[in-house]
Structure 1
Amino acid sequence: MPINHDTSFVERMPRNVALQFLTRVETSPDREAYRFPQGDGWESVTWRETGARVSKLAAGLMALGIEQEQRVGIASGTRFEWVLADLANMCAGAATTTVYPSTNAEDVAYILGDSECRVVFAEDDEQIAKLVAHKSELPHLEKVVTFTGAADGDWVISMDDLAALGEKHLAEHPDAIREHAEAIGPDQLATLIYTSGTTGRPKGVRLQHKAWVYEGEAIKAQGILDESDLQYLWLPMAHSFGKVLLSSQLACGFATAVDGRVDKIIDNLAVVKPTFMGAAPRIFEKAHARIVTMTASEGGAKEKIATQAFKVGIQVDRLKREGKSVPLPLKLQHGLFDKLVFSKVRDRFGGRVRFFISGSAALNAEIAEWFHAAGILILEGYGMTENAAGATVNHPDHYKIGTVGPAIPGAEVRIGEGDEVQLRGPHIMDGYHNLPEATAAAFTEDGWLRTGDKGSLDADGFLTITGRIKDLFKTSGGKYIAPSAIESKFKAICPYVSQFMVFGNERNYCVALIALDPDAIAGWAEENGLGGKSYTEIVTSDAAQAMVGDYVEQLNGRLNRWETIKKWRVLDHDLTIESGELTPSMKVKRNVVEDNNKALIDALYAS
C-alpha cells in the first residue's frame, strides 16, 4: 500500500529538542514515559515526573554557568540517567558530546578536549578514573557529575547534588527552563557525536536541533508509532541510532523501557513485552543462530517439524508478498506450524512485537525472511551519524525485504557518480567539528552529503545498499567483489559464525578470516565431545574445522565462480570492541583486522 509522504509537518515542527520535550510533558503528563531496572523489578516514571527531574538538572547546569551551545559530555552506557542528562543538556541549551563507556582513556581525553566540554556526566568510578588520569589535558572541564560513582563534593558531584543546585536556581529564576528553551534556534548545535570510524582519529559530527526534531517528527508523520507503543531500548545512546529513537519517542509519546545490558536483552524482552525495538543486525543473527542450533540439538521429530515449518512459512510469505493466493493445503499447514513453531519464536521476544527496526549495518535478506516467516517483521533502515541516523526506512505497511526502504518524508536520496548514495534534507550535519577540509570533502559541489556507500534505487524509490565503496575490491582477474554481500550470506548459512571477512584485493582469488561466536560454539562443543575445552582448543579442533569447511562449501555453491572462497582460516579469538577490531556499534574495522592478520592472509596466498 503506498504511504502518504506529506512533508508539511516540516514547517510546523518544534523549533528545538527542548521545546519538543516540554510539549510532550504538557501533552502527556500522566502517561508512562520510562521504566528502568530497580532491584529485582522495574520502576516506572511519567512524563510529568521526568519533566520535573530534567528541569532540576537543566537548572543545575545553568547554575554551573553553562551557556548556549557549550558542550556537556556524557560518558556512560545506556541507562535512564543517560536520557535525563541528555534532555537536561537540551533544555539548558548545551550541546551533548557522547562518549562510549568502552572508549579508552586517551580517546576520551581527545574527544572531551577537542569538543571543549565544560561539564561531563560520568557513569561510574571507571569513567571518572579516565577523566582523572587526563585531567591536565582537559583545561575546559570544570565539573564532573556522576550517576553511581563516588563524589568528592568538589570536582565530582552526584546527580542529586546537581539537582539541588537546580532547585536553588529555579527558586530564584522560576521561568529559566522555558526562557532557555524559547531562545534555542533550529540551527543551534545540539550534539557532537564522535564517529568511532575505522581509520584515524574520531571526527566530531555537528548535528543541529532541527536534525533531531525532524527525525522524530518524520517518524510521527508516517504513523509508524504512537502513544500506545512500548519500546525496549538497549542500543548505545552514544550512537546516533539510539539518539534518534529518543527523538522519535518525544515526537510520538510512546513509553520506553531502558536497559543497556546486552546480556539481559532476551530475559528483559520476556518481561517487558515491547511492541518494537531497534537493534543492530548482529542481535538478529545471534537470535537466529541460537534458535537454529537449539532446534538442531533436539533432533528427531522436533527438528523435522521446525525445518518443515520454516520451509512452508517462507513459501507462504513469498506468495503473499507477490500478491498471489495461498493454496488451501499450504494455508492449513501454515496454521498448524504457527501454533507449533512460530508462536514459540514470537514468545521469545515477548509475544507483542509489531516490528523490529534494524540499522547500523546490513541485515541479510535470508535472515529477515526467516523472521518474517515466523510472524516477526524486521524493518531495515539506513543512515549514518552525519545525517542524524535516519535517511530511509521501510514502513510496516509498505516494505521490501532486502532493501532499506524509501527516503523518510522531507528527505531526499539520489545515486551519484560511481553509484554513491547521496543525501539531502533537514537531518544533514552542519559539518565536522574543527575540520573544515573534511567537511568540504563530505559534500558534493551542489550540497549533497556523500555517504561513501554504493547503492541503487528501484522504480518505487526503495534503496538497496551494496556495500561501502572503499571496501569493494577488484581481483587480479579484473572482477569486482562486494565483500559485505558474501559475508552476510555466510552468516545466514552458518549459525556458529560471529564474523566472516573476505579479502582478495588485486589477488587472483578470495580468502576469508572467520571468527566463531563463543556462546554458539560452546554449545556445539558439548554435543561434539569437546565440552569443557577452551575457545581456542574448540575452534582449532579437526571437528570444528571440518564443520566450518562444510559451511564454506555451501556458501561457494551460492556464489559466482570469481567470488568463491578458495582458502580460509578460523581465528583463535572472536572480534571485540575491546580489542579494537569492532567499533562500539559492532561494525568490523576491516583495516585493523587485515593489519593484525597480515601474515595469516599472506600465507593463504603462498603457493
Structure 2
Amino acid sequence: MPIAQKTPVQMLEEQAKQQGKRVFLRQPVNRELCDFSWEAVSKMTRLLAGSLRQLGFCPGDRIAVLSKNCAEWFITDLALMSGGYISVPIYPTANADTIRYVLKHSGAKAIFVGKLDDWPAQEAGVPGDLVRLGMPYETMPAQYHWQQLMEMAPPLEPSYPEPDDVMSIIYTSGSTGNPKGAVLTYRSYSWAAQAVAQDLQAGTDDRVISYLPLAHITERVYIEGASLYSGLVVYFAESLDTFIEDVQAASPTLFISVPRLWTLFQKNIIDKIGHNKLNLLLRLPFIGKIVAGKIRAGLGLQDARILGCGSAPVSPVLLRWYEQVGMPITEAWGMTENGAYATLNYPFRSDKVGTVGRPGIDCEVKVGENQELLFKSPGLFKAYYQDPEATAATFTDDGFFRTGDQAEIDADNYVTIIGRVKDTFKTAKGKYVTPVPLERKLVQNPLIELVCVIGSGLPYPVALVQLSEGASGMPKEQVTQSLQETCRAVSAQMESHATLGGILVVQEPWTVENDVLTPTLKIKRQVLDKRYTDKVSEMRNDQVQWESDI
C-alpha cells in the first residue's frame, strides 16, 4: 500500500466537503448528546488555530493536552496540526510528578486542560508561568477559556506540513523509569491511520466509541486517525458511571477494549445469569443463539462487526469464553513506536487464538537474538525526543525496531508474545526464567484477576496475585485450595528451575495511583519486585500465603 500523502487536516477538509452537516462527533453532556458536524469541526479547528497564532505561539512550539476523551480533544489536536504546532498528549490519570516531567522535558509552551477526575491533585505539576487553555468543562483554572478561544481571532488557513515534519511527541507509559518521548511524524501517523482504516474496512456507516485514553497511541490511531481516513462517526463516554449507557447509545460497529474490561464484562454476565446456567443455555442450539444475542445487546455491542483487544496480555481462556457466546475478539499487538498498527488476528481465526495475529499491511516481523521480536513498517516513529543514544540502540542495522518483546512466529507468520527481554530474571540457582508463560497459565484460574511473577535472586519464582471480585465472596479456605491446585498444576508443566515457590495473595489493590500500574494498565514488575522480594523469599513447594496473614 502506498504511504498516505494527505495529512489528518487535509482529510478533515475533504470529509467536511463531502459530508458537510453529517454528524462526526457525538459528545454526551449531562446525558444529552451534543453533536458536531464535519463542517463544524473543520470551522472550530481553524478558529482555535487562529487564536493560538493570535496568542503568539509559533509553528513548531510544543503544546500539551491534559484531558479525558471528548470532542474538544479531537478539535484541539486537529487545531494544533492545522497551525503547525507539535502536540504533547498527557494521560488524564497522570500524577503531578509525571505531568511536571513531561512538560519540562518536552519544553511545552502551553497546556490545554479539560475533563479531569481530580484536577486539584494534578495542578501542582503545571508550572504557574505556563499558559493554560481551558476546554468547556469544570477543570483547573486557565487564563483562556474555550468560548474565548472560539471568538478571539479569525480562522487560520491550515498549513500543510511536509511528511517528515514532527506532528506529536507521545510519552510512553513505560513500566520502567521516566517515560520516553516518541517523536511521530506526519508520514508515520498518517500511514498508520490509513492502514487501520483500510485493514478494518472502515467506512462512513461505521460507529466507534472513544473512551480509552487519547494520550495513548492506540486510541489516537485506531479511533481518531481511522475516523479521519474513513469518515466514520465517533461517540464519547461521559463518565465511568455512564459507560454502559454510552456504549448502548453508540451501538458501535467497531469496539476496542483492554483485557481488564473484557474480564469485568464477563464477571457481570456470569454474576447475572450464573455460571452453570449460562453454560447449559449456550449448549442448546436455538436457545444458545438467543442468549448470546441478549448478552451482546446488554453490552451495547449487538451491531459490532469487529471486537478488539490489546494493550496487555489476555488469557486465551477468556477469548474462548467470548467466542462461545458469539463474540469473537480480535487480539492485536502494537506499540507507540510503531503507531500501534503492527499485528492483528483479523479476519478472526479461531485456530490462532493465543497469538497476537499476523503482520498488518506493509509490516514485517522477524525474531532476533534472545527471541526478541524485530519489526519494520512505514509507521515507525522517528526518534526518542532528546535521547539520541536510546534512539540508536533501538534500531538494527537493517532498520528494524527492537521491540523488547520476546516472540515466536509460526509457519503462517502469526506472532505469539512469550515475554519481555527485560523481564527475564535469574533465580538463585543461576537459571533464567521468563515470567510471562507462567503468568498466562496462572491467570486461567478465574479467581485471579491480575498476576505478576517475580524471582530475581530467589530460590524459586513466586506469583503475586490480585483476586477477582468473584473470589471476595468465597470462603478463604476454598480460595486457598483453588490457588494451590492451580499452582501445582502450573509447576508440573514447567522445567525444574521454573517451578513456583508459591502464590502470595496481595492485599493492596494494584492501581495507577499507587504506581503499580501504568496508565494503560500494564503492571510495573520492578515496583512489585522491590516491594515483595523480601516477603516471599522463603516460599517453597507451591505454598499459598495471604499478605494479610504475614
Common fold by TM > 0.5: yes
Q: What is the TM-score of this pair, normalised by structure 1?
A: 0.82
Indicate the SS of the match to 1:219. Answer: helix
1:329-340 map, 5 Å: 333-339=284-290
Determine which structure has the larger helix proportion and give its number. 1
Offset of 1:131 from its aligned partner? 4.7
Counterpart CA distance in 1 for 2:285 and 2:500 is 37
Match status 1:267 vs 2:252? no
Structure 2 residue corresponding to 1:365, chosen from 306, 316, 319: 316
Structure 1 segment 154-303 matched on structure 2, within 5 A: 156-165=143-152, 168-170=153-155, 176-178=156-158, 180=159, 182=160, 184-245=161-222, 246-259=224-237, 261-296=239-274, 303=275
Q: Which residue of 1 aligns with 2:524?
A: 589
Conservation of the 8 A alpha-carbon contact between 1:380 and 1:405: yes
CA distance in 1, matches of 2:491, 2:237: 40
Q: Which residue of 1 aligns with 2:547?
A: none
**What one-letter code is carried by the residue in structure 1 that aligns with 2:137?**
T
> Which residue, out of 77, 82, 86, partners 1:86?
77
Deviations 1:319-349, CA, capped at 9 Å, x for gaps: xxxxxxxxxxxxxx4333222x322322222
* Between 454-463 and 391-400, the greater mean CA deviation after superposition: 391-400
Within the candidate set 286, 289, 305, 1:354 is matched to: 305
Q: In structure 2, what is the Cα distance between the partners aligned to 1:493 and 1:259?
A: 31
Letter in 2 for 1:218: A
| CA displacement at 1:546 relative to structure 2 | 4.2
* Aligned residue number for residue 548 of structure 2: none
CA contact (8 A) 2:28 2:238 kept: no
The residue number in structure 2 matching 1:68 is: 59
Deviation at 1:413, TM superposition (A): 1.8
The equivalent residue for 1:299 is none
1:71 maps to a residue whose letter is R
* Aligned 8 A contact 1:20 1:213 in 2: no
- Alpha-carbon distance in 2 for matches of 1:345, 1:550: 32
Q: Name stretches of at least 5 consecutive residues in structure 2 with no aligned partner.
A: 544-550
Stretch moving more, 588-597 or 348-357: 348-357
SS of 2:212's partner is coil
3-state SS of paired residue (2:378): coil
Partner of 2:439: 487
Partner AA of 1:348 in structure 2: G
Q: Does 1:416 align with 2:364?
A: no
After TM superposition, the structure 1 = structure 2 runs for residues 90-169 of structure 1, keeping only pairs within 5 Å, are 90-123=81-114, 126-127=118-119, 130-131=122-123, 134-135=126-127, 141-149=130-138, 156-165=143-152, 168-169=153-154
Contact 1:15–1:185 (CA under 8 A) maintained in structure 2: no
Q: Deviations over 1:349-372 (max 9, x none)?
A: 222221212111122222112111
Q: Which runs of 5+ in 1 are unaligned?
A: 1-6, 171-175, 297-302, 313-332, 529-540
Q: Does 1:28 align with 2:19?
A: yes
Q: CA deviation at 1:506?
A: 4.9
Over the residues paired in the alignment, what is the CA RMSD in angstroms?
Answer: 2.7
Q: Give the conservation status (yes or no) of the 8 Å contact 2:427–2:433.
A: yes
Q: C-alpha separation between the residues in 1 aligned to 2:388 and 2:467? A: 41
Relative to structure 1, the CA distance from residue 134 to residue 254 in structure 2 (aligned partners, 3 Å threshold; closer, same or farther) is closer
SS at match of 1:15: coil
- Pairwise mapping of residues 284-323 of structure 1 onto structure 2 (< 5 A)? 284-296=262-274, 303-308=275-280, 312=283
**C-alpha distance in 2, partners of 1:551/1:457?**
28
Q: Comparing 276-285 with 578-587, which one deviates more in the overlay?
A: 276-285
Match of 1:395 in 2: 346
Identity %: 26
The TM-score, its normalising length taken from structure 2, stands at 0.90
Q: Is the 8 A contact 2:97 2:125 kept in 1?
A: no
Give the direction of change, closer, same or farther, for the CA distance of 1:189–1:294 in structure 2 (3 Å limit): same
Q: Report Cα offsets for 1:60-91 as digits up to 9, x if no partner.
A: 11222222221110011122222221111111
Aligned length: 538
The aligned residue for residue 6 of structure 2 is 15
Match among 425, 450, 453 for residue 377 of structure 2: 425
Give the structure 2 partner of residue 319 of structure 1: none
Superposition deviation, residue 444 in structure 1: 1.2
Note the alpha carbon deviations across 1:162-207, whole angstroms, 9 max, x for none.
1112xx333xxxxx323x1x2x111111111111212222111111
In the alignment, the residues of structure 2 paired with residue 336 and residue 149 of structure 1 have an alpha-carbon distance, to the nearest angstrom, of 48
Q: Deviations over 1:247-266 (max 9, x none)?
A: 11111111111126344333
1:89–1:96 Cα contact (<8 Å) kept: yes
